[in-house]
Structure 1
Amino acid sequence: MKRISILLFLIGLGVTIAGVAWIGADSIFKSVFSIGLNHLLLLTLWQIFVIALLSTAWRSICPELGLLRLFWARTLREAAATCLPFSQIGGILLGVRAVCFKEYRFIDNPENLSIAQGISSNIVDVTTETLGQALFTLIGIFIFVSGGYHINLQEINIFGNYVNLKWIIFIGSIFLAAALVPLIWTQRQGCIIFQKIFRWLSAHIAQQWSGKLAANADLLQKSLDQIWSRPQRVIRSCLIHFLCWVMSALGTWACYIFLGAHINILEAITIEALVCVTLSIGFLIPASIGIQEGAYVILGTIFGIDPHLSFGLSILRRARDIIIGVPALAIWQVTEIRYLHKYRQNK
């Protein structure tokens, strides 16, 4: 799996470099530097606000975990997915670690916090985020079709065959919707699945750990059942996540305006929704390298936006993520080092 991720990352990086060469590095970086530091900081602050709102969506399903803990966990989850050579799955794993960590200095550390709570809250939060994304995508596709923009879709060459982009968007939407069914079913009826997984792990590790694994399988299912037993909280989380997707689209609209593009808010929502569909297809590619750039360039062209502006938007989005993510990851590393040092001293 690690080798596949590295290979996908290198392919995506190659696509990005080829895109820069094709569009023209001078025009891309000229547009990027034209917005100024003030506008970049404004986009960064907007993204921090969106992350805070995402934290409230997470808190809606698990209020006992605390908003500050979940804000930090969400920030780390985003940082790992956007700044490190991890797929989205790697970001989720770091989010679990951040939720379960009990040695924070400025965040309350409840004694009864369990690993099962950390895992289950992450799983359900990802599920409600995907549900919110599905609604956001449907609205984007509706605007796309009702506005007649689909007429401008082009055909691209894939392994010698020309495929219209509308089929890629359609397949991505189906993939996103189909992924929700097993995701929710596993959480609601997944006790047997979890038990089989933990039973397999128990047979391949030391005997003294097997009992703990079996107990954790039951605790995880119990924790998931507790969250899903409060549907009003789940619905609230979905609605907040949907609002966050809209807020992200507003950030995209503002970035295009700063770059000098002529685009309205509904068009920005459509572009962001269809980019989300594309990123859903390539979720295994670390940091969506190449996929993000290509999606913005192709979709921006449909709406009459110059490719160098769309490519510049993708670069600014990555710059914004780095401004937020790198300090967060550095703080996390310091925190983990302190924890290991303290653990070794006590041992």
Structure 2
Amino acid sequence: MSRLAYAVALVGGLFLIALIAHTGYRAVLGALAAGGWSLLWLVPYHLVPIGLDAVGWRVLIARRDDDGRAGLGALTWIALVREGVSRLLPVASVGGEIAGIRLLILRGVDGAAATASVVIEVLVSLLSQYLFTAVGVALLIILTQSSETTTEVLIGIALTCPAPIIVLLLLDNARIFQRLERFAERTLGGRNRLTQLLSGGATLDQEIEALIARRWRLVRATLWQFAGMVSGSFEVWLALHLLGHPVSVETAVILESVTLTIRNLAFLVPGGLGVQEAGLMVFGQMLGLSNDAALALSLIKRGREIVMGIPILLSWQIYEARQMRGGSKDKRAHGN
């Protein structure tokens, strides 16, 4: 994690503290206390949206995994690891994706196929996010009759929505990774760490093109990702009901879409510290939700990430350690 990232995280953390202080920490703590231990039900429920995401990922990788090495259970666990790395560890925003690729390879999936599935899955996730945000904005217009803010958001969606589609078109038949590999060799003079990282760029391009050519798989993966985001709205609905601030299903969908959109837009801020809370407070006020309830909701989401993420990350390290021990035994056996 760079010094700039640490600085941004510090500013975000201070901003979060300022929001809590401005709202009143007693009010926020009171809202959290109203939920009590029943809020822990949100932890196992999170397996639902993650599982739906994993189904979409499985749709993409199934053609290159006839042996079932990356089954639904394994992909769900890897998806949780990816989320834990991205949300809790001081790494770049793509750290979770890199960890996911590595775990697929360790399970015996071809490296190019694993990388291609993650690249396309990320783009599909972005497209699903645009669709989900559009639904949230449409519901916001209906519920609040507010045109100024929502119009600006809709314009932003319309202008940026083609981005993942354009990237998909560029990846199709553009041989991007092969070109990057050749460019790195020419620019840096032969083989080096960058060219080693891009080694097999032609194979990776072929895997990506093969996935893009299967349009129905892309549609199915997008729908599963979208379903995962919609199911995540129930987490918001349940949390606010447990806090004593019941909301409608439509409001829960809006708040969940706002949370996901803000975290994606504020990718430079680790964990979206402060930014997520401010966004929920602004849109919560538009929907009649008090600031203390909005802050409590955001803190509950962060608490769930910690409670679920730490054991998952520990299981990842245990798995890595076992793989290393197994590799060492194989080397000694071959040496003898």
Q: In the alignment, which residue of structure 1 is the partner of 2:280?
A: 296
Pick which of 209-218 and 53-62 moved more. 209-218
Return closer, same or farther for 1:305/1:148 CA change in 2, 3 Å cut-off: closer
Q: In the alignment, which residue of structure 2 is the partner of 1:194?
A: 177
Return closer, same or farther for 1:214/1:260 CA change in 2, 3 Å cut-off: closer
Q: In the alignment, which residue of structure 1 is the partner of 2:102?
A: 97
Q: In the alignment, which residue of structure 2 is the partner of 1:126?
A: 122
State the Cα RMSD in Å: 2.5
CA offsets per residue over residues 250-296 of structure 1, 9 Å max, x none?
A: 21111111111131001111222233332222122211111111111
Pick which of 138-147 and 312-321 moved more. 138-147
Q: In the alignment, which residue of structure 1 is the partner of 2:52?
A: 53
Does structure 1 conserve the Cα–Cα contact (< 8 Å) formed by 2:177 and 2:198?
no
Return closer, same or farther for 1:205/1:74 CA change in 2, 3 Å cut-off: farther
Aligned mate of 1:179, from 134, 147, 163: 163
Gaps of 5+ in 2: none
Aligned mate of 1:216, from 191, 200, 216: 200
- What is the CA distance between 1:317 and its match in structure 2? 0.6
CA–CA distance in structure 2, aligned partners of residues 209 and 287 of structure 1: 30
Q: Report 1:1-347 matches (<5 A).
A: 2-37=2-37, 39-63=38-62, 64=65, 65-102=70-107, 110=108, 113-150=109-146, 165-166=149-150, 169-170=153-154, 172-174=156-158, 176-191=160-175, 193-202=176-185, 204=188, 207=191, 216-344=200-328, 346=331
CA–CA distance in structure 1, aligned partners of residues 9 and 97 of structure 2: 18
CA–CA distance in structure 2, aligned partners of residues 134 and 255 of structure 1: 24
Pick which of 14-23 and 334-343 moved more. 334-343
Pick which of 227-236 and 61-70 moved more. 61-70
Look up the equivalent residue of 1:89 and give its one-letter code: V
- Percentage of identical aligned residues: 24
Please give the TM-score of this superposition, normalised by the length of structure 1.
0.85
Gaps of 5+ in 1: 103-109, 152-163
Please give the TM-score of this superposition, normalised by the length of structure 2.
0.87
- What is the CA distance between 1:219 and its match in structure 2? 1.0
CA–CA distance in structure 1, aligned partners of residues 94 and 214 of structure 2: 26
Does structure 2 conserve the Cα–Cα contact (< 8 Å) formed by 1:74 and 1:95?
yes
Return closer, same or farther for 1:209/1:175 CA change in 2, 3 Å cut-off: same
Does structure 2 conserve the Cα–Cα contact (< 8 Å) formed by 1:5 and 1:86?
no
Does structure 1 conserve the Cα–Cα contact (< 8 Å) formed by 2:49 and 2:227?
no
- What is the CA distance between 1:248 and its match in structure 2? 0.7
Question: Alignment partner of 2:94: what SS?
Answer: helix
Aligned length: 324
